[in-house]
Structures are given as C-alpha cells and as structure tokens.
Amino acid sequence: MNLPTVFNRIIARTITYFGRGLLAVTPVGLTIYVIYSIFVWVDGLVPIMIPGLGVLIMLGIILGVGLLVSTVVPQSFVNLLEGSIKHLPLVSLIYFALKDLLSAFVGDKKKFNQPVLVTVNRQS
C-alpha cells in the first residue's frame, strides 16, 4: 500500500469515529444542558435562597407538564407538535432518539420489563 491510501483511510476512520461519538454524546450533553439551564432559570425566579428549592420546583414543573399532557392536552396536538419537529433535521434526531430511549424504560410500551440471563462462552 502506498502512503496516501493509508493516510486517507486513517482520515476517513477518524471522521467516522468522530461522527459516531458526536451522535452518542450530543443527546446526553444537550439534555444535561437543557436541564441545567432550566434549573438555573427557575432558581433565579425565587428571591429567597433555599438549598434544593430549585430542584423541587423543577420536579413540580415536570410533574405538572406530565399531568397536562396525560389529561388535558389532546393527543392530536402532541402529534402535530411532533410532526413539526420531524422536519427539523438535527432537532428531530435528538428529540426522537431521546423519546425512544425514555419510552423504552418509562413509556406505556416498556421494552425492558423482564430480566434476562445471557451466557457468554469464552474460548481461550
């Protein structure tokens, strides 16, 4: 093999690994950033400095939104909102990846509700 071919393969693999790493890290990092931003914003709304109050308020807001989406907000509105998100390239990727991940553990159709035992045979 000549040197330019090896170099091109190394560059191509590096770009591929970087892209995969970016796809793996972005949803987690973005989620942490959004939660942190909401926490700082909610904590700034309260004039009294009480440790943990921002977390309690944020949990209450999330609980309230969950209650509204489950009872008051019609499913057609949620579907319309998701349809709009579907047309935004990077946002839709992050949104639906997180939605699928969360629905696997918390949603109505839990996919991980039964433990399994996997035997791995190691051959020396």
pLDDT in tens, the chain (124 residues): 577 788 888 888 888 888 777 767 776 777 788 878 887 887 787 787 777 777 788 788 888 888 887 787 777 877 888 888 888 887 788 788 877 777 776 666 666 667 778 888 877 5
Does any domain span residue 121? no
For the chain, the maximum distance between any two Cα atoms, rounded to a whole number of angstroms, is: 69
- Does the residue 10 lie in any domain? yes
Check residue 1 and give its pLDDT. Answer: 58
Residue 86 structural domain: 3-105
Residue 120 lies in a domain: no
Q: Structure pTM?
A: 0.47
Total domains present in the chain: 1
